[in-house]
Amino acid sequence: MVSWISTAYFLTKTVATLPVGQILTLYSTKRVYVSGILIFELGSLLCAVSTSMPFLIVGRLIAGIGATTVNVAAIWLIAQIARLEIRPILFGMIALMETIACTIGPIIGGAFSEKVTWRWCFYVNLPIGGLALAISYFMPGENAPKKASSDKTLAAKFLEIDWIGCLISSGMIIAFLFPLQLGGNTYPWKSASVITPLILSAVGIASFLAWQRIKGARAILPWSILRKSILGSSFVSFWTYWALFDQIYYIPLWYQVQGRTALQSGIDTLPFLLSSCLAPVFAGLFSKKTGYYWPIMVIFPLLSSIGTGLMYTMGPASSRTRMIGYQIISGIGTGATLQLPDVSIQAELAHESQLIPQATGLMALVQGIGALIGLAISAAVFLNQLTIDLRATAPFLSETVAKELQQSIAYIFTLPASEQDLVVQAYIKSLNLVFIAQVPAGVLASLTSLTMIRNYNLKHRGRGAGSADERMDA
């Protein structure tokens, strides 16, 4: 059940995206944002005081809902208070903060686990959330889309939510994500336990689209959002998050296989994390200065592919300096593209800003699925190749030992030194296949940007876009 600690969080974080998008069209952005912080804090507190694994998983489920509420509300808030050409910088700052969190989170978490207790991995969220609540006091107050329902009571607005659409979308997402988590681990990929939910998810998608067509403008995902440029932006985000999370997970493994601790490997991954952290700021400044975001979305994903392609050439004896350089190349390519799909969507909807929350919810859903599919496919590739390589390079290992090695890197260092070298070679070869498998993600992100996303000039597009683009001068 340990794997469900992270799975539960990403499950609700993904499922909640579409409902949150519609809720933001009905209620004050500030109220929704603050509610998201409180929900996340509640989930973190439950995790910190949990006395059993199911208790901990429930806390993670709640925290995931809070996290996606904060994320989608923050993007919508920026659309309400900043001119269109200013937003890339603000989105870049969001990406900067997210990447810093990804950078120091594992390091701090590892330190807490080793020096104090794992519970502090969750307790630490409480003062941070308290600070966020204090800052939110200074946020603009009643920013909500102007709709016919704006004068209705909270209860009346609650009834306007497309609850049937929420139910269908939740079912189809859960039916799709569960096999990704269980396939190849708990059940074989060809088993009925994996194939049946995937078939049900396909039925769910068809049912969901039909229901959205029936509901029209009151749907959880209005049909008018499903246009070429918005779908293109969502797919770019899909491929970008696929590459991002694969590298965040597998680059540290490359170091751990060679004897580095979890804490040390977190530090070794800093070149990727820091470059992907600063690149969105550069992308935002470039977009603000020139008015264009499209060239970055076409060119920079290719750097991610180049970086991961170069990682494929690394062996156990390769220079660590080379790996640092390859991390930086890939980090710049991945990071520069992280938040630009948000910019693209808001440029497309500059004159239909009431659709931005739900379009943002759609993109958040697709990017979350991209991360989970990427990790699932990479895990399948890695474990399959590792099984083959262990048989080829260390055929003397028993089946029991081989299974232990697939489950735990630490088991490598319980073997005799002569056997360790052979196992490390097998691990590195398998990791190299994971890196080369990430190359198409950057290429597809670039091709999607080239063929599906419009090349708007933000300075021109923002003119006459309404009050949302007139509230802030900078």
Write the pLDDT tens digit of every residue in 18-32. Answer: 999 999 999 999 999
How far is the C-alpha of 7 from the C-alpha of 13, rounded, in Å?
10
Confidence (pLDDT) at 156: 83
| Alpha helices for 24-162 (secondary structure H) | 29-49, 53-81, 87-115, 120-123, 125-136, 154-160
| Greater model confidence, 241 or 408 | 241
Q: Is 327 exposed, middle or buried (0-12, 13-18, 19+ CB in 10 A)?
A: buried
Confidence (pLDDT) at 147: 54
Confidence (pLDDT) at 145: 53
From 329, 277, 333, select the one nearest 302 (Cα to Cα).
Answer: 333
Query: With 90 as the cut, is the pLDDT of residue 309 above it?
Result: yes
pLDDT digits (tens, 9 = 90+) for 324-382: 999 999 999 999 999 999 999 999 999 999 999 999 999 999 998 998 889 888 888 88
Q: Which of the four pLDDT bands, split at 50, 70 and 90, describes residue 3? A: low
- In order of 4, 112, 279, 388, the CA distances from 49 in angstroms are 17, 15, 38, 43
Query: With 50 as the cut, is the pLDDT of residue 239 above it?
Result: yes
For the residues 125-136, what does the mean pLDDT come to? 93
How far is the C-alpha of 441 from the C-alpha of 301, rounded, in Å?
8
For the residues 386-392, what does the mean pLDDT come to? 88
For the residues 101-130, what does the mean pLDDT come to? 82
Confidence (pLDDT) at 108: 79
Write phi, then psi, for 137 (nearest 5 degrees). Answer: -60, -30
> Could you tell me what percent of the chain has a pLDDT over 70?
94
Query: With 80 as the cut, is the pLDDT of residue 190 above it?
Result: yes
| Greater model confidence, 107 or 17 | 17
Query: With 70 as the cut, is the pLDDT of residue 296 above it?
Result: yes
- Dihedral of the CA atoms 236, 237, 239, 243 (nearest 10)? 140
Query: With 70 as the cut, is the pLDDT of residue 472 above it?
Result: no
How far is the C-alpha of 376 from the C-alpha of 10, rounded, in Å?
13
Q: Which of the four pLDDT bands, split at 50, 70 and 90, describes residue 2? A: low
**Per-residue DSSP letter, 149:** T
Q: Which of the four pLDDT bands, split at 50, 70 and 90, describes residue 1? A: low
Query: With 70 as the cut, is the pLDDT of residue 142 above it?
Result: no
Range of lowest pLDDT (114-128, 201-215, 343-357): 114-128
For the residues 433-445, what does the mean pLDDT come to? 95
Q: Which of the four pLDDT bands, split at 50, 70 and 90, describes residue 473? A: very low
For the residues 432-447, what does the mean pLDDT come to? 95
Confidence (pLDDT) at 379: 86
